[in-house]
Chain A
């Protein structure tokens, strides 16, 4: 039986390298055959305390395709939370109604806390700026699918490396696979030292850049993120650097054949639309992979895979 049965997934570091690979293998099976009615006797609760389109629909699609029943809410305004019910009480109640809880909540650490209160497993679908581990799992899936391996890759992370939680998680996860990291960001949005320390502790290398052009020929994966105007105290500074992390089709000359571009989405203008039709764009398939990975996680945690 899998070590994942009955487990929570709160932070990407909760799982081992072997467990990541196990989830990816199971997800491959769902990609080949997504409609498998193996959770028909299960109830999955999706508790979205803040709006989310992609993540919620992806989880609900995954659960539906496995035949599970779904309860939950996507608008806490219409629930007893508005009456001041605590997270503790909500989770205690929902635990008795469901076999698995999927939760997004803007309070950082809320998912860890919910997992300590709940009597059923909890999957974190995002707790504020802290963790979003299923996004990271689908990033790993997309990398392995496009490169054929997770080992020994040159990974470029581009954009807001300071606040981007998907960036932090992916760096931590890829530290298990002997990656070399190329970090491209404005000075103001460099990767936090604690995350750089994870790279160093794993005995791996990272290089820092301010211009996206500098890494195009090196990278196997270019992981793009959005640089938000509101992150800059000085708007002049934003105007000065805002184009340094924008990827256009004409910049892709000289890139490796196998290179693929990932993005957690939503995209604004950091990847121009002329990139979409190049063979290097992978961000829409990446989002689709989220369904298979979430199917795999639910099935493994509920002990049916």
Chain B
């Protein structure tokens, strides 16, 4: 199974594979992880067949490893993601992402009257309910949820 995937998006010798990304979240995940300007091999596969998701996205980043905290940020868009650390073409570590307790400067505040929507203020949220992604704005104290969540472009 693993070999089959690697045939579609070629294997990397050393780095990170982010698997099981929803197809509509691949480019958001790249942005959230700050990989738009990554200066090494970055392989993106999308709409690949997946037993788990039907269709999925995958990102392979050569010569880069992430902290758990960095990975948790993409749990907002890709809750069932699998992170695979690769060294010498071998899987050395595998883990999933957890919804973070704090969401900093990733999401807009859904309250149009919030100061963060009026001035150049970095948004900050405290996660209140991980099921619904209900988070309280550090500034206006109003809630943003999965339904009202918009990512900062």
Contact = CB atoms under 8 A, between A and B. Distances in A.
A113 interface: yes
17 contacts: A86-B119, A88-B120, A88-B121, A107-B114, A108-B141, A108-B142, A109-B109, A109-B116, A109-B138, A109-B139, A110-B139, A112-B138, A113-B115, A113-B119, A128-B113, A128-B140, A129-B113
Contacts of B114: 107-109
Interface residues of A, number: 18
Contacts of A128: 113, 140
Contacts of A134: none
Interface of A: 11, 86-88, 105-110, 112-113, 127-131, 194
Interface string B82-122: 00000000000000000000000000010101111011110
Contact of A108 (B115, B119, B120): B115
A131 B115 contact: no
B143 A109 contact: no
B113 A112 contact: no
A110 B115 contact: yes
B119 A130 contact: no
B137 interface: yes
Contacts of A110: 115, 139
A130 B114 CA distance: 9
B138 A107 contact: no
Contact of B139 (A86, A88, A108): A108
Contacts of B137: 109
